[in-house]
Amino acid sequence: MRKNIVAGNWKMNNDLSETLSLISEIKQIQNTSGAECMVAPTFINLQSAFETAKGSNIEVVAQNMHFAQNGAYTGEISASMLKSVGVRTVILGHSERREYFHEDDALLKQKVDFALENNMRVIFCFGEKWEDRSADNHFNVVESQIKNALFHLSAESWNSIVLAYEPVWAIGTGQTASPEQAQDMHAFIRGLVEKQYDSSISEDVSILYGGSVKPNNAQEIFGKNDVDGGLIGGAALNAESFMAIVNAF
């Protein structure tokens, strides 16, 4: 049975004191929805965040990860390093990693494989740009991103996969995707997984929406049949707005 999940991707925000303060504030607000609640601070604050979140239902997750266990990869972080500080879930394929750091499907496939080999859960991100949407090519782009990085996986591996659809054109641009557009894409994605595997896997996988979810639109978006939660950016940097989204189910 798929789970409702709300994950706050803090990106390159919050120093150590701000990180600990925000987690402490989130802990003080009751999670009434039962949704899984995740936060993704910067690498250097993961251990302190994990310790601060102990005793709560907040899971601390990583924003990225390298595809090798160790070696001459200056500035990179491995799965074993993340696990050593308590992290068991990693976000891979975020639109900003694809755009600014040129991470392609082949690289992301390596990262996904390595995360799963290390018994980590993956929140795998994908989505189209405005030129794809305006050219009516958005379904093809999303299908390609998912197939290239994930469809080599065994059926069992999908127990550790969470999907996150990000319409890149609706993130920080002032444009917004409608709940109906989100549902249409999520239904399409679920159909792709069913076609490749079977209905039990497609019905069990959680598909998050990452297109500027706010407290004032979360309930309508999460009310759609195939939307199982959100990958939250700016609204996750405020405890009250983030928990309003968590409690929108």
Residues assigned a catalytic role:
94, 166
Cβ-based neighbour number of residue 225 at 10 Å: 9
Task: List the Cα angle 136/152/192 in 5-degree steps.
Answer: 35
Q: Which two tokens stand for residue 120?
A: 């980590």
- Identify each DSSP E strand in the chain by its residue range: 5-9, 36-40, 58-60, 89-92, 121-126, 161-165, 207-209, 229-232
Q: In angstroms, rounded to a whole number, what is the distance separating the alpha carbons of residues 146 and 189?
A: 9
Q: Which residues pair with 38 in a beta bridge?
A: 7, 59
Residue with tokens 């159909």: 191
